[in-house]
Chain A
Amino acid sequence: MAKDTASATQKQSFEEFCHQAFDPTKEFSKPEALKGVRVLSCTQYILGPSCASYLAELGAEVIKIEAPRRGEAMRHTTPFNEPFLYPLSRWVPERGTGLGFLGANPNEYFISVDFHRPEGQAIVKKLAAKSDVMVENYRPGTFDRWGIGYRQMKEINPRLVYCWLGGFGGWGPGRVRASYDILGQSQGGNFGMTGKQEFLGGAPSKHTIWLADYWGGMMGAVQILAALYWRDKVSGEGTFTEYSQVHGVTRQLEYALPLYGRHGITRQRWGNWDTQLCVHGIIKCGKSSYPGSENPQESEEGYILISAYTDEDFARLCKVVGDVKMAEKYAKTENRVKAQSQMEIYPWLEKWAADKTKEQVAEIMDKANINNQPVWNAKEVANHPHWVQRGAVRWLDDPTFGELLHQGPAYKMSATPPRLKWALKPVGADNELILGKLAGLSTEELRRLEEQECI
């Protein structure tokens, strides 16, 4: 039988095989990679929560602990104070839940415990005793002071992987400094290098996503998985991990540090072009793809990435543009990639694209077999059949908030795919389930603790 199946799959085209192996609609018919791993997430904002949520996508039982009643701050942030998810929040009845929370907490169980109170701390200890991982992002030393930090938890549960994530780390001259994503970007170095060139009037530019947070959370998850591997396969012991988001950003500066160390040169902004390749940059197309739209996001001109950095590709590009002189002048890679050359080449391309939309440019480039990628906005991405078919963006029937368009997991696995179950739940929604199951609290105790605002 196995042979038949094997030969049947061989006959399939490779694309069909991949589609079947990674089909987002089949995720729930497959097992979960981290089933049986319990994670305690004592986190707020994005860095810590997202770290735990990546594990929750993989099937870990993630229990998120929030402050009673109002819950964590991200529930109350939303772009321009406009969109809110309903139903109304139980504790802030005048409005619903903000969208800032989305993407950082899917698939989790939500309980509320006041960490300040001895009774709350006792509950956290009970949960930690039965957990594999604890993720925490309070200011360094706070949990230690409350008696629920690594030093205490490793005595209660030596197998616990305790992961602290935050801004500057818990030791060193800057240890007391608070941090947010945008501070991580500012101080880590990627902010100052991003944006339009200084001599063209540009300024440093923020990455629109909370990159140091969301990507930092991934880094934390990688480290946790490695620690679990070492625990399960080698030692049986847990560990403490410390992730500084500023440190993470500094790690990703590519050639900037080696260049500075060797030559004393500080890497500068180079806008939408590339410092190492040419042509490999984003250019402006003169026409909007949606000229009649009232939405400024659509009515503005289009942009497209054109990539023709090899000599052959550049020659083809010149043919498309119809310019023999440029083809001769910049035939060689080493001539094209110089700063002065780029200053001439990109405006030349923009002049050519001045009467075209980004789709028209893409079509011309596709025909000439030249790499390109239009700059898509959120609407174009959300509706693109490629992303829809792959489940990168998908409709979710959320048990609390109803139908929502939501991002899928960042990567695909054939045997144990990460998946999306729910986006979020109200504060303390799972108190009864989790605290009854793991902390042995009776209905009566739960009611009393709730009245005292301890949960």
Chain B
Amino acid sequence: MDTPKVPSWPAIPIAKPEEVYAGLSDQAKDYPLYLESITRQEKNFEKPEALALLRVLDCTTSMMIGHWCSSQLSELGAEVIQVEPPGGDPLRKLTPFGRKEYMFKDKESGEEVGGQFLHEMRNKLSVTLNLETEEGREILKKLVVHSDVVIENGTPGQWDAWGIGYRQLREINPRLIYCWVGQRGQWGPLKDKPGMLEPTAQAACGFVHGTGDPKEFGGQPTRSALWMADHVGGTSAAMGILAAVLYRNNVSGEGQFIEATSAEAIIRILDYSWAWYSMDGSIRPRYGNWDLAINIYAVNPCKDGYMMVGGGHDRLWYRIWRTVGDEQPAVEEDILGDLHLRDVTERLAHDMQVKTYTMLGEWLKDNPRSEAERKLSKQQVASGGVLYVNEVAEYPHFKYRGHVAECDSPHYGKILYGTTPFLQHKTPGRLKWLGRPVGYDNEDVYRRLLGFNRDDFARLSQTGVTHEEEEEEEL
């Protein structure tokens, strides 16, 4: 079968600065050009890395929260050593609908890895180590001597029982920051409910119940397409780790124990759900693509898709209706004449939201996303269409700023990826490489940190500490 031809990225060339800032006065250009000069990612490698002195052992497998946490640190310059079981983290094998053709193949060995795992393995070194063996655990202890941070996601108490938990490792390295990550926690009544992959946490914290359309509109509780709670949980773990590093460096000289869960990270950001419940028993409901607490602030259907329009306070409220009124004066008149829509909080009542969006929909149905955005932007109203991935990849602003970029991997060829949003003047985040084959850095890490020699490598490989014992399985 012929493989369809895929156009190279970008299909539409990236704009040049003189096009972007054409027609602006020197004064108007001054500030954006200044920002551009201090934060452009092309200049990253002329600058130092914020966390260059930090070494992190990411020992998590089969879950995204730990990988997400360590990739934030590695983007900011930490040396992250990804410790995988021999044969690699099982997540390497994941690919949409099981389609092998969507995996990325190492040019030399033919070893395959899925896009999701690859996308998070940025800047990390990959070593293999079998922690189920005594010798593997001894090697881990030696690595810990040289590390600032260790991240693990074993079942609750597993590492402690193995003699490599926080209680034991702090004796080996009192400066160690030890972080456990998971879905629901390693203590408390649910600790023995097996940990597993997202969207476990999303379902356990109220997020899924509150997302999607109400039942009356044919809706049901809805998960995020992404393993989103792991992303938020991973970022919160990174926050805790860096705070602990600062406290260690500046104050105590000692490490500590951190625990971060995906579910609690989302509970933290479910804004007023808890207070609201405690006041009158209200259970945060699903409200589709509208917002419970702001009007106008919603996504509604338009001519060619779905359109976000937002403007909660009076100034923007009137500008939105002025824009609509240019084409449909009767709608503007009706809205402005409605006494119940005059006050910013009175607009929040459900009936008022129904009226607002019904009227707005009258206008949106004749306007495609780009037109609606052009008209509303003229009035400085926040607006924009719901974009699909192909549109995100080609969006002029994102391409110009490098939100999406292509990495030329020595192992896997060209890969399109989402770049780090950590733009900075002095020590920006950056991409050095995107993913490694399993155990690619064994040689470097074990020689450099532990002084292993040829004999050690051969022995460890044979005893199943760094490599799978394939022959034995065949017997």
Selected interface stretch from A166-174, A314-322, A429-437: A166-174
Cβ–Cβ contact A205 & B211, under 8 A: yes
Cβ–Cβ contact A411 & B245, under 8 A: no
* A182-B425 in contact given A33-B247, A411-B237 (Cβ < 8 Å): no
In the docked arrangement, what's the CA distance between A327 and B187, Å?
35
Q: Closest Cβ of chain A: how far from B193's Cβ, in Å?
A: 8
In the docked arrangement, what's the CA distance between A384 and B185, Å?
14
Say yes or no for A452: interface residue by CB 8 A criterion: no
Say yes or no for A241: interface residue by CB 8 A criterion: yes
In the complex, number of A-B residue pairs with CB atoms less than 8 Å apart: 621
In the docked arrangement, what's the CA distance between A110 and B389, Å?
41
Query: Which applies to chain B's interface (DSSP): helix, strand, loop or mixed?
Result: mixed
Residues of A within 8 A of B223 (CB): 194, 272, 282
In the docked arrangement, what's the CA distance between A174 and B370, Å?
13
Assign chain A's interface to a size class: 35 or more
* A180-B297 in contact given A174-B397, A373-B204 (Cβ < 8 Å): yes
In the docked arrangement, what's the CA distance between A263 and B102, Å?
8
Say yes or no for A371: interface residue by CB 8 A criterion: yes
- A257 is contacted by which of B119, B160, B377 (Cβ under 8 Å)? B119
Residues of A within 8 A of B277 (CB): 378-379, 382, 405
Cβ–Cβ contact B203 & A373, under 8 A: yes
Selected interface stretch from B34-42, B131-139, B357-365, B457-465: B34-42
- A222 is contacted by which of B72, B161, B298, B393 (Cβ under 8 Å)? B72
In the docked arrangement, what's the CA distance between A414 and B260, Å?
12
Selected interface stretch from B342-350, B445-453, B466-474: B342-350
- B398 is contacted by which of A178, A241, A247 (Cβ under 8 Å)? A247
Cβ–Cβ contact B185 & A386, under 8 A: yes
Say yes or no for B173: interface residue by CB 8 A criterion: no
Cβ–Cβ contact A411 & B299, under 8 A: no
Q: Closest Cβ of chain A: how far from B367's Cβ, in Å?
A: 15
Cβ–Cβ contact B48 & A98, under 8 A: no
Cβ–Cβ contact A405 & B50, under 8 A: no
Residues of A within 8 A of B406 (CB): 261
Cβ–Cβ contact A79 & B200, under 8 A: no
Contact with A along B284-311 (1 / 0, CB 8 A): 1111110111100111010000101010
Cβ–Cβ contact A192 & B33, under 8 A: no
Nearest-neighbor residue (CB-CB) of B47 within chain A: A239
Cβ–Cβ contact A241 & B423, under 8 A: yes
Residues of A within 8 A of B421 (CB): 219, 243-244, 247-248, 250-251
Say yes or no for B13: interface residue by CB 8 A criterion: no
Q: Closest Cβ of chain B: how far from A178's Cβ, in Å?
A: 4
Cβ–Cβ contact A266 & B390, under 8 A: yes
In the docked arrangement, what's the CA distance between A259 and B346, Å?
46
* A257-B215 in contact given A50-B269, A172-B400, A373-B203 (Cβ < 8 Å): no
Query: Which applies to chain A's interface (DSSP): helix, strand, loop or mixed?
Result: mixed
Cβ–Cβ contact B243 & A58, under 8 A: yes
Say yes or no for B422: interface residue by CB 8 A criterion: yes
Q: Closest Cβ of chain A: how far from B402's Cβ, in Å?
A: 9
Q: Closest Cβ of chain A: how far from B241's Cβ, in Å?
A: 9
- B187 is contacted by which of A22, A203, A262, A303 (Cβ under 8 Å)? A22
Q: Closest Cβ of chain A: how far from B52's Cβ, in Å?
A: 8
Residues of A within 8 A of B280 (CB): 82-83
- A183 is contacted by which of B77, B384, B416 (Cβ under 8 Å)? B384
Q: Closest Cβ of chain A: how far from B264's Cβ, in Å?
A: 5
Say yes or no for B242: interface residue by CB 8 A criterion: yes
Cβ–Cβ contact A178 & B415, under 8 A: no
Say yes or no for B328: interface residue by CB 8 A criterion: no
Contact with A along B226-268 (1 / 0, CB 8 A): 1110011101111110111111011110101111110111111
- B257 is contacted by which of A168, A240, A265, A413 (Cβ under 8 Å)? A413
In the docked arrangement, what's the CA distance between A310 and B77, Å?
36
Contact with A along B199-239 (1 / 0, CB 8 A): 11001111111111111101011111111100111011111
Q: Closest Cβ of chain A: how far from B217's Cβ, in Å?
A: 10
Q: Closest Cβ of chain A: how far from B76's Cβ, in Å?
A: 5
Contact with A along B382-397 (1 / 0, CB 8 A): 1111111110110111
Say yes or no for B9: interface residue by CB 8 A criterion: yes
Say yes or no for B312: interface residue by CB 8 A criterion: yes
Residues of B within 8 A of A374 (CB): 203
A residues 202-233 near B (Cβ < 8 Å) are 203-211, 214-215, 218-219, 221-223, 225-230, 232-233
Cβ–Cβ contact A255 & B384, under 8 A: no
Say yes or no for A450: interface residue by CB 8 A criterion: no
Say yes or no for A90: interface residue by CB 8 A criterion: no
Residues of A within 8 A of B38 (CB): 240
- B224 is contacted by which of A102, A178, A207 (Cβ under 8 Å)? A207
* A260-B35 in contact given A177-B377, A221-B239 (Cβ < 8 Å): no
Residues of B within 8 A of A14 (CB): 156-157, 160-161, 165, 186
Cβ–Cβ contact A412 & B258, under 8 A: yes
Cβ–Cβ contact B32 & A141, under 8 A: yes
Residues of B within 8 A of A297 (CB): 209, 283-285
Selected interface stretch from B81-89, B93-101, B331-339, B436-444: B93-101
**Residue of B245, B258, B271, B390 contacting most chain A CB atoms (<10 Å):** B271
Say yes or no for A155: interface residue by CB 8 A criterion: no
Nearest-neighbor residue (CB-CB) of B36 within chain A: A171
In the docked arrangement, what's the CA distance between A230 and B429, Å?
13
- A411 is contacted by which of B216, B258, B313, B345 (Cβ under 8 Å)? B258
Cβ–Cβ contact A208 & B246, under 8 A: no
Contact with B along A308-330 (1 / 0, CB 8 A): 00000000000000000000000
Cβ–Cβ contact A393 & B267, under 8 A: yes
* A167-B211 in contact given A182-B299, A239-B425, A246-B403 (Cβ < 8 Å): no
Cβ–Cβ contact B424 & A240, under 8 A: yes
Cβ–Cβ contact A410 & B268, under 8 A: yes
Q: Closest Cβ of chain B: how far from A354's Cβ, in Å?
A: 15
Say yes or no for A286: interface residue by CB 8 A criterion: no
Residues of A within 8 A of B397 (CB): 168, 172-175, 177
Nearest-neighbor residue (CB-CB) of A182 within chain B: B308
Say yes or no for A122: interface residue by CB 8 A criterion: no
Cβ–Cβ contact A15 & B187, under 8 A: yes
* A76-B39 in contact given A9-B167, A378-B209 (Cβ < 8 Å): no
Cβ–Cβ contact B294 & A276, under 8 A: no
Cβ–Cβ contact A186 & B384, under 8 A: yes
In the docked arrangement, what's the CA distance between A276 and B395, Å?
27
Residues of A within 8 A of B308 (CB): 182-183, 186-187
Residues of A within 8 A of B20 (CB): 172-173
In the docked arrangement, what's the CA distance between A182 and B291, Å?
9
* A77-B293 in contact given A254-B227, A413-B258 (Cβ < 8 Å): yes
Contact with A along B40-54 (1 / 0, CB 8 A): 000000001011011
Cβ–Cβ contact B35 & A170, under 8 A: yes
Cβ–Cβ contact B252 & A415, under 8 A: yes
Residues of A within 8 A of B287 (CB): 208
Say yes or no for A126: interface residue by CB 8 A criterion: no
- B204 is contacted by which of A54, A73, A140, A376 (Cβ under 8 Å)? A376
Cβ–Cβ contact A242 & B346, under 8 A: no
In the docked arrangement, what's the CA distance between A284 and B215, Å?
12
Say yes or no for A419: interface residue by CB 8 A criterion: no
Say yes or no for B418: interface residue by CB 8 A criterion: yes
* A415-B6 in contact given A103-B268, A275-B97 (Cβ < 8 Å): no
Cβ–Cβ contact A214 & B249, under 8 A: no
Contact with B along A292-310 (1 / 0, CB 8 A): 0001111010011101000
Cβ–Cβ contact B389 & A33, under 8 A: no
- A151 is contacted by which of B32, B34, B197 (Cβ under 8 Å)? B34
Extra 11 A-B pairs, beta carbons < 8 Å, given A180-B382, A234-B48:
A103-B271, A235-B48, A240-B39, A248-B421, A250-B421, A254-B226, A261-B414, A282-B203, A371-B196, A376-B203, A385-B189
A-B contacts, 5 of them at CB < 8 A, read A22-B259, A79-B276, A176-B377, A191-B386, A257-B416
Closest 4 CB pairs of A and B: A261-B416, A255-B115, A405-B278, A174-B397
